[in-house]
Structure 1
Amino acid sequence: MSPRFEPVVFRPLPRPLKPFPQETESSFLNRLATANAIPVQRLRQPSRWLTSRLDPIDQLSVLSGQPRTVFQYAIPRWENKSWNVSNGPLALTPRWACRRCVARRTGNPQQDVMVWMSKHHDQVCIPHRLWIGRAVENTARQLDLTDLPEVVQAQRRHYRLLRRRGPATIAACYEHCSAFWHSLFQRGYRLSDRAERLRRLSPNDRQVRPWEPQRYAAVYPEIVEAMSLYASPHWRSLALFRERFELFRAEFNRRLPQESALRTTARQWFLTELIRTALRIERSIEAAELKVIVAHHQHEASTP
């Protein structure tokens, strides 16, 4: 008996297109539609009167002229929806891919691609020395870091910390150390290195708003330095014990010496915030570990 015939109600488009690694579904569909000069709605519903039994990935495989394995390799979250998490250690979020990576892979320097990226850990494209992370609203705002090798080196160090300490610890450290530095600068904490980087990124720094990428890039090396201190269980424990807190404070000041002393009203806040930051990080790590334990028990309970 011959197998049942299941017609495909659409055919490959004239211009095939490969997905970009970790590309979002909407980004790929928009690029495919643009390349073939058709409305993107036609890709989501190729036929108005017939339905296909192919799943969405197989449909895209037919339309784009690419094997299914290409999508499985480039965009694993399409195959496994649980791969994409909006919170937790990786905290994946849609961001613009490095414009130079896109130009090299696609051959089109004008093409923009949106990819899934960690909002905590992916801040710099190391090969192309571009700031691609926080506050980059479009590819034109991806800052060239050629003259700021210390910012690129900070990303390398960030990845080393991630491999050594794990995503739960480093995600907590990045989140709370970033907030700590933001509050410090609001209270008059000054670093000569940060000021020099900001000057090189924007000669007239008074025109740079607080939420623009220049300000985040300028302080990124200091954030990573603080992360390395708080990620260490030894130093974090010293911050949490009043009898040994002075050792932690001295190490913080040694690694991150301030250009001028804080105002009287901010001094006590600074000392208290050093301890609170350690406590917030400790609690975040414990919460992340508890989630893993609960998920493990739920998986065991659901396994026959």
Structure 2
Amino acid sequence: MPHTVTPFPNETLESYTHRLAAVNRIPERHLRTPSRWLRCPLNELDLLALLSGQPRTSLAWAIPELRRYAPGIAPPLKSLGVMTRFACRRCVWQAGGTGSVHVHVRSRYDLVCVRHGIWHSEGVAFVEQQIDLAPIPQVTRAQVLINRLEQRHGERFIAECYRVCERHWSELDRRGLVRNDATALLDRLHTTNPREHKPFGPHHRFRLASRFPQLARFIALVVALSLKLTTNMSREEAGPRILAEFERLFTLDYRPRSITGPWMRTALVHLVVRMAHEAQVLRLSETEAPTPSHSI
């Protein structure tokens, strides 16, 4: 090909072939099937290396889908997620790329580029919608916290904890119990698009980003309490301890009564007990438990 394109780390095969075809101004299908009549004996890795002029090593390391053709170069991933997202626009620019690049999603909680402070995932429909988090660095620190939790306790445990905690925190937000802190961060985010100056829905990317620090602290709290529950805390004393720790870290916007109060206490205790059971299954210990703080 007259022009080559350097693959981006963890880029999808479809994204790379699209960029390579675009820079050479040819239909993308010509890269997949160069000849309409002759069957190509090369596999996808060898064919793409021939057409792009990039080394097989670079392609195999950068594009996970091609690793199965060269296990001696790069170990194939045990499981390749079906979810993708836009790569951080500043990472792409720094790597010398242009346009949008799609990469495989490492996990559901990989939402922020820690290096550049860019919200790149949830609620982002196209690359121009990525959020610069410079006005609210708490969001970037929240991503760092979750990354550390994953390093300590493993992806499986933190992925399950994120899933149940995110659902629980969304319900707290829907009931208006924990909005003040997120609203304070939301007010510091500025947008130049006039269409964005309207009330943000619960799944809008600005709302999701502004409540992410609270969610990260909540996940750290649940992790710490669930690991304590597996060792030196009985189920009977767990309820008051869990509620006391939650009230110490989070200030509710109002004192819940009637149905909301009992629901919140019961659901919180049930969530911690559930993650304690998950920790027992995975044989995690309290010695690895983090200490939640107000720093985020």
1:278 Cα deviation (Å)? 2.1
Indicate conservation of the 8 Å contact 1:136/1:142, yes or no: yes
CA distance in 2, matches of 1:263, 1:257: 15
Indicate conservation of the 8 Å contact 2:124/2:205, yes or no: yes
1:59 Cα deviation (Å)? 0.2
Counterpart of 2:218? 226
Pairing of 1:192-211 with structure 2 (within 5 A): 192-201=180-189, 207-211=199-203
Pairing of 1:83-122 with structure 2 (within 5 A): 83=77, 85=79, 93-108=83-98, 111-122=99-110
1:235 Cα deviation (Å)? 4.1
CA distance in 2, matches of 1:274, 1:230: 9
Higher share in helix: 1
1:175 Cα deviation (Å)? 0.8
Counterpart of 2:24? 36
CA distance in 1, matches of 2:137, 2:248: 22
CA distance in 2, matches of 1:32, 1:84: 27
Q: TM-score, normalised by structure 1?
A: 0.81
Give the unaligned 5+ runs of structure 2: 70-75, 284-296
Counterpart of 1:296? none
Secondary structure at 1:15 match in 2: coil
**CA displacement, residues 95-142 of structure 1 (integer Å, 9 cap, x when unaligned):** 00001111121243xx00000022423111112111012222211111
Which of 58, 64, 73 is 2:52 aligned to? Answer: 64
1:281 Cα deviation (Å)? 3.1
Indicate conservation of the 8 Å contact 1:154/1:220, yes or no: yes
Counterpart of 2:288? none
Asked if residue 168 in structure 1 is aligned to residue 161 in structure 2, the reply is no
Asked if residue 50 in structure 1 is aligned to residue 38 in structure 2, the reply is yes
Report the CA distance shift for 1:144/1:21 in structure 2 as closer, same or farther (over 3 A).
Answer: same
Give the unaligned 5+ runs of structure 1: 1-12, 291-304
Counterpart of 2:207? 215
**CA displacement, residues 201-259 of structure 1 (integer Å, 9 cap, x when unaligned):** 26888621211111111111111111112222434558981333101110111112213
> What amino acid does structure 2 have at the position aligned with 1:257?
T
Indicate conservation of the 8 Å contact 2:114/2:140, yes or no: yes
Asked if residue 145 in structure 1 is aligned to residue 133 in structure 2, the reply is yes
1:191 Cα deviation (Å)? 4.1
Indicate conservation of the 8 Å contact 2:18/2:28, yes or no: yes
Indicate conservation of the 8 Å contact 1:161/1:228, yes or no: yes
Moved more, 268-277 or 224-233: 224-233
Indicate conservation of the 8 Å contact 1:239/1:275, yes or no: no
Please give the root-mean-square deviation of Cα atoms over the aligned residues, in Å.
2.5
